[in-house]
C-alpha cells in the first residue's frame, strides 16, 4: 500500500524529465524525445499518455505483428546484446525478487540478510537465508528461454549476453560470451583477508547445514562471490557492458523489470547511441516507452519462438 501511494502521488506530480545531451552521438531522432516519468523514492516509471496513474490495466494480448517486427530487428542487427534478469529463471524454480508474495524480498528485509553490512554483522543470518535459495539454484536446470538464447548465440545473432542472475543457468544451457554483473556461486572469498577459493567443497556446508564457512588462512567468514547490497559491481564488467551497449545495433531485454541500477540503465544508454530496443517481459518496465517492440508475456514461450524464426 505504501509503494502504491508513493507511485500514485509521484504520478500526480507529473515531472517531465529529458535525456541528457552531449553524452553520445544520437543516430535516431525519436530517441531524443523527452521522457515523461513518474518518479519517487527508488522508483522510475514511465508515464503513458493513454493510461492514468493509480489504475490497474489488463495486459493486452501480443499482436502477431509485433513478433514480425522483433524478428526483423534481430535479423537486421549486426551486433546484438541481450540483458537478462530474474524473470528468465523463474520457470526453472528460482524465485525472483519483487513480483509477488513468494518473491525473495517479500519475506525478508534485504538490507538485513543480503547486504554487505548485514553480512559483516551477522554472517550466520545470511547463510540461514541463502541456504534454501542456494539449494534451489544448484539443483536448477536451464529452461527453454536459456536454451533459446544459447541457440541464438550459435546462430550468430547474439554477440554478448549480460545477466543479472547468479544461477549460471546460461552457462549450463551452452551460452559462451557472458558477463555476470551480480557475480556467481562458483567461488567464495574471505571478507577479512580476500582469500579466494572454489566454492564447491563448501556446498554441503551451505546447503545442508546453513552454517558459516571459515577461511582456512585467517578464520574470517567466507562469502560467496555474489554482489550484495552495498557492494560495488566489478568495474571491468560494468565498463565492458556499457561499451557493448554503446556499440550495439540492438539490445534485447528478457525477463528483467529494469529496476536495479546501474545495469537497468544499459537499454537507455544503447538507445541514446542509436540502438534499437526489444523488451520481452511478463510485466511493464520503466523503459517500455523507449522500446521499438514490447512483448509482454512469458519469456519461456516467447524467446524460443523468436529464435526459431531466425
Tens digit of each residue's pLDDT (9 = 90 or more) over 205-258: 999 998 999 999 999 999 999 999 899 999 999 999 999 999 999 999 999 999
Residue-level pLDDT at 61: 63
Judge contact between 222 and 202, C-beta under 8 A: yes
Judge contact between 280 and 67, C-beta under 8 A: no
Same domain for 49 and 148, yes or no, is no
Q: Pairing relation of β-strands 80-84 and 43-46?
A: unpaired
Same domain for 51 and 14, yes or no, is yes
End-of-domain residue from the set 192, 210, 226: 226
Residue-level pLDDT at 20: 33
Judge contact between 150 and 82, C-beta under 8 A: no
Residue-level pLDDT at 63: 78
Phi, psi (degrees; rounded to nearest 5) at 45: -145, 130
Judge contact between 70 and 281, C-beta under 8 A: no
Count of structural domains, the chain? 3
Cell numbers found for residue 219: 578464520
Name which of 82-96, 105-119, 288-302 the model is least confident about.
105-119
Same domain for 194 and 261, yes or no, is no
Cell numbers found for residue 222: 567466507
Same domain for 257 and 306, yes or no, is yes
Asked if the model's pLDDT at residue 7 lies above 50, the reply is: no
Residue-level pLDDT at 147: 97
Same domain for 203 and 134, yes or no, is yes
Same domain for 304 and 196, yes or no, is no
Gyration radius of the chain over CA positions: 20
Same domain for 161 and 290, yes or no, is yes
> Is residue 46 very low, low, confident or very high in pLDDT (cuts 50, 70, 90)?
very low
Helix or strand (DSSP H, E) at 199? none
End-of-domain residue from the set 226, 260, 293: 226
Those residues with Cβ within 8 angstroms of residue 172's Cβ, 6 or more apart along the chain or in another chain: 141, 142, 146
> Is residue 2 very low, low, confident or very high in pLDDT (cuts 50, 70, 90)?
very low
Same domain for 1 and 89, yes or no, is no
Residue-level pLDDT at 96: 74
Helix or strand (DSSP H, E) at 211? none
- How many CA atoms does the CB half-sphere of 157 hold within 13 Å? 20
Cell numbers found for residue 243: 561499451
Asked if the model's pLDDT at residue 59 lies above 60, the reply is: no
CATH of the domain at 202: 3.30.1600.10
Asked if the model's pLDDT at residue 170 lies above 90, the reply is: yes
Asked if the model's pLDDT at residue 182 lies above 90, the reply is: yes
Judge contact between 117 and 141, C-beta under 8 A: no
Same domain for 207 and 287, yes or no, is no
Same domain for 166 and 78, yes or no, is yes
- How far apart are alpha carbons 291 and 109 in whole angstroms? 33
Same domain for 252 and 124, yes or no, is no
Asked if the model's pLDDT at residue 127 lies above 60, the reply is: yes
Q: Pairing relation of β-strands 293-296 and 250-254?
A: unpaired
Residue-level pLDDT at 106: 56
Arithmetic mean of pLDDT over the chain: 81
What are the residue numbers of the active site?
182
What is the dihedral angle through the alpha carbons of 33, 34, 36, 41, rounded to the nearest 10 degrees? 120
Query: Where in the sequence is the domain holding 66, given as residue range(s)?
Result: 61-94+143-182+233-310
Residue that has been written with the C-alpha cell 547474439 in this structure: 158
Grouping H, G, I as helix, E, B as strand and the rest as coil, residue 221 is: strand
CATH of the domain at 294: 3.40.50.1220
Residue-level pLDDT at 114: 85
End-of-domain residue from the set 196, 226, 256: 226
Same domain for 155 and 34, yes or no, is no
Amino acid at each position: 500500500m505504501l509503494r502504491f501511494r508513493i507511485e500514485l502521488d509521484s504520478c500526480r506530480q507529473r515531472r517531465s524529465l529529458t535525456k541528457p545531451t552531449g553524452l553520445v552521438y544520437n543516430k535516431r531522432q525519436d530517441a531524443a524525445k523527452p521522457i515523461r516519468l513518474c518518479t519517487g523514492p527508488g522508483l522510475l516509471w514511465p508515464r503513458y499518455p493513454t493510461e492514468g496513474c493509480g489504475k490497474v490495466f489488463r495486459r493486452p494480448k501480443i499482436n502477431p505483428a509485433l513478433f514480425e517486427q522483433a524478428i526483423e530487428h534481430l535479423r537486421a542487427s549486426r551486433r546484438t546484446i541481450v540483458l537478462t534478469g530474474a524473470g528468465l529463471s523463474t520457470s526453472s524454480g528460482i524465485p525472483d525478487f519483487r513480483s509477488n508474495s513468494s518473491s525473495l524480498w517479500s519475506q525478508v528485509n534485504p538490507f538485513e540478510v543480503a547486504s554487505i553490512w548485514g553480512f559483516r554483522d551477522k554472517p550466520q543470518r545470511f547463510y540461514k537465508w541463502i541456504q534454501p535459495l542456494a539449494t534451489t539454484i544448484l539443483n536448477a536446470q536451464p529452461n527453454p528461454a536459456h536454451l533459446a538464447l544459447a541457440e541464438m548465440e550459435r546462430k550468430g545473432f547474439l554477440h554478448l549476453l549480460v545477466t543479472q542472475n547468479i544461477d549460471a543457468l546460461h552457462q549450463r544451457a551452452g551460452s559462451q560470451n557472458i558477463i555476470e554483473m551480480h557475480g556467481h556461486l562458483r567461488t567464495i572469498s574471505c571478507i577479512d583477508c580476500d582469500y579466494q577459493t572454489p566454492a564447491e567443497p563448501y556446498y554441503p556446508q551451505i546447503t545442508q547445514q546453513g552454517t558459516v564457512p571459515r577461511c582456512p588462512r585467517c578464520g574470517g567468514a567466507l562469502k560467496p562471490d555474489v554482489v550484495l547490497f552495498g557492494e560495488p559491481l566489478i568495474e571491468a564488467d560494468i565498463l565492458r557492458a556499457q561499451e557493448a551497449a554503446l556499440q550495439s545495433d540492438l539490445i534485447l531485454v528478457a525477463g528483467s523489470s529494469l529496476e536495479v541500477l546501474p545495469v537497468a540503465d544499459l537499454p537507455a544508454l544503447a538507445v541514446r547511441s542509436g540502438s534499437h530496443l526489444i523488451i520481452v517481459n511478463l510485466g511493464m518496465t520503466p523503459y517500455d516507452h523507449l522500446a521499438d517492440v514490447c512483448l509482454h508475456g512469458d519469456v519461456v514461450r516467447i524467446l524460443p519462438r523468436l529464435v526459431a524464426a531466425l
